[in-house]
Amino acid sequence: MKPSVLSILRSIVAIAAGALTVLIVLFGTILLVVPGWMTEGGFPDTTPGLALLLGLEILAGLAGAFVAALLAPRAPRVHGWTLGALLLIVNVTGVAEPGSSWPLVPAVLLVGFVPVQTWVGIVLALRLRARRGRQMIGSTLLLGTLCLAAACTPPDSSGVSDVAAGVAAIPSTDGVPIVYEVHGGARADAPTLVLIHGWSCDRTYWGSQVGPLAERFRVVTLDLAGHGDSGFEREEWTIASYGADVAAVIEELDLEDVVLVGHSMGGDVAVDAARLVPERVAAMVWVDAYRQLGTPHTPEEIEAFVAPLRADFSTNTYAFVSENLFHAGTDSALVQRVARDMSEAPPEIAVPSIESSFANGAVVPVVLDEELDLPVVAINPDDGSTDVASMERYGVDVVFMPDVGHFLMMEDPESFNALLTEVVGGLGE
């Protein structure tokens, strides 16, 4: 008997109601019991995270089949195909989005699960009251339980620094909480390094520096407001406000003899922080922050760069980062991870931040020339794009790293750490 439109609609509503109920209950419970699995970009890029998602989908599919059978028992075949179609749509749309938080391998695995989940949904709905259907339900519940158990396994922490760190938060000048970490102890014979991340990044981008550098220096990392774990309650996202974040941490820790190390936009932030606490800052190191000084971007050039970000931030940021900011020989997994991460930044924060950073190019030379009297060294990629003469005109010394792109400290951390240590050691000479 051909199913009516009403029975199809009832089937869809029943399946959706059952699936959503289970998702809400289980997902809320897991967030409470296993904190940290949900990030701003979605599930973490881990195998346990994949297991969690699959477990939730399977259990949600079961609930949908049960509720559909109860509310519309005369249209089991409709339930099966509806449930299968819903699972298919959820999976395909989840992995096809540019900048998705899923890496390539889990994405392929997830798509591979589509036929299995679809078949399970169909069999459950068609045989819900038969013995084989009950056996299928039992085995599917077991599979879902195993997936959830795997999701509760602690994630791999390899690559994370094992240096003891104190993590704390203090309010910036406008009250926004700023999270920071302190690694290593104060040393009378060495400065304190304050590592400032770049646009749409966070303090974890310095993960390969913290351990090695903390053996020689006290190292402070922080998340600027609107990034990482720091607060997001701010009205204006400017270089000046970010500089105040860094200055607040420096003053809270009562740091002296500070070397500000700023990557990309972090170089602009370092300049503003040095203006706020000049008596505490001994030097600055830019990590591919500027490649020329004295010829700032025009308003038209800034608008041409920002317009695509306003139109579709995620897609265009992912494309720009992955296609332009890495050396050709860089590990593709690193490229994809950074591009995904940056493309998931809140556009309402990222767009005004990059506008402010570009506009700050007109301010930095004046500050270096007229306000600050301290050593500044730029560590740049050795790709021929740096105008050394213009940098030296404003007192900036330039050193180069070969075979790297914009993310020098991540693409070749060992060479970068050695070079930064050498640069800091020579600042007083």
Residues 252-279 have pLDDT tens digits of 999 999 999 999 999 999 999 999 999 9
Estimate to the nearest angstrom the gap between the alpha carbon of 424 and the chain centroid: 28
Segment 178-182 mean pLDDT? 95
What are the E-state strand segments in 140-278?
A: 165-171, 177-183, 192-196, 218-222, 258-263
Asked if 126 contacts 77 with a C-beta cutoff of 8 angstroms, the reply is yes
**Does 410 or 138 have the greater pLDDT score?**
410
The percentage of the chain sitting over the pLDDT mark of 70, rounded to a whole number, equals: 61
**Is 69 exposed, middle or buried, given 0-12, 13-18 or 19+ CB atoms closer than 10 A?**
buried
* Each residue's pLDDT tens digit, 354-393: 999 999 999 999 999 999 999 999 999 999 999 999 999 9
Sign of CA dihedral 56, 62, 66, 67: positive
Tokens read off for 6: 């009403």
Segment 284-308 mean pLDDT? 97
Q: For the chain, where do the domains classified as CATH 3.40.50.1820 start and end?
A: 165-425
Q: What pLDDT is stored for residue 323 in this prediction?
A: 96
The percentage of the chain sitting over the pLDDT mark of 90, rounded to a whole number, equals: 59
**Does 208 or 161 have the greater pLDDT score?**
208
Looking at the DSSP bridge assignments, the partners of residue 180 are 168, 222
- What is the crossing angle of helices 47-71 and 76-96, to 10°? 150
Segment 405-423 mean pLDDT? 97
Segment 174-200 mean pLDDT? 93
Asked if 52 contacts 43 with a C-beta cutoff of 8 angstroms, the reply is yes
Q: What pLDDT is stored for residue 7 in this prediction?
A: 62
Provide the edge-to-edge strand list for the sheet that holds 218-222. 165-171, 177-183, 218-222, 192-196, 258-263, 281-287, 376-381, 396-401
Q: What pLDDT is stored for residue 100 in this prediction?
A: 39
* Each residue's pLDDT tens digit, 215-243: 999 999 999 999 999 999 999 999 999 99
Tokens read off for 144: 């879902």
Cα distances (Å, whole numbers) of residue 349 to 130, 231, 304, 339, 346 = 55, 12, 18, 17, 6
Q: What pLDDT is stored for residue 167 in this prediction?
A: 85
**Does 254 or 87 have the greater pLDDT score?**
254
DSSP secondary-structure letter at 182?
A: E
**Mean pLDDT lowest for which of 119-123, 311-315, 374-378?**
119-123
Asked if 199 contacts 357 with a C-beta cutoff of 8 angstroms, the reply is yes
Q: Which residue has the tokens 């600042």?
A: 427
Res 102 pLDDT > 90: no
Asked if 393 contacts 366 with a C-beta cutoff of 8 angstroms, the reply is no
- HSE (side-chain half, CA atoms, 13 Å) at 265: 26
Structural Rg of the chain based on CA atoms? 26
Segment 74-95 mean pLDDT? 53
User: For residue 179, how many other CB atoms are within 10 A of its CB?
Assistant: 21
Tokens read off for 324: 């332009």
In whole angstroms, give the CA distance from residue 212 to residue 10: 62
**Does 163 or 308 have the greater pLDDT score?**
308
Asked if 391 contacts 378 with a C-beta cutoff of 8 angstroms, the reply is yes
pTM for the whole thing? Answer: 0.65
Segment 322-338 mean pLDDT? 95
**Is 385 exposed, middle or buried, given 0-12, 13-18 or 19+ CB atoms closer than 10 A?**
exposed
Report residue 188's pLDDT band, with 50, 70 and 90 as the boundaries: confident
**Is 58 exposed, middle or buried, given 0-12, 13-18 or 19+ CB atoms closer than 10 A?**
buried
Res 77 pLDDT > 70: no
Amino acid in position 284:
M
Amino acid in position 221:
T
Segment 41-61 mean pLDDT? 54
Q: Look over the chain and give the mean of its residue pLDDT values, rounded to a whole number.
A: 79
Q: Which CATH class is domain 165-425?
A: alpha beta
Segment 118-137 mean pLDDT? 54
In whole angstroms, give the CA distance from residue 162 to residue 416: 19
Asked if 416 contacts 408 with a C-beta cutoff of 8 angstroms, the reply is yes
Segment 389-412 mean pLDDT? 97
Specify the DSSP element, H or E, that contains 282.
Answer: strand 281-287
**Does 136 or 231 have the greater pLDDT score?**
231
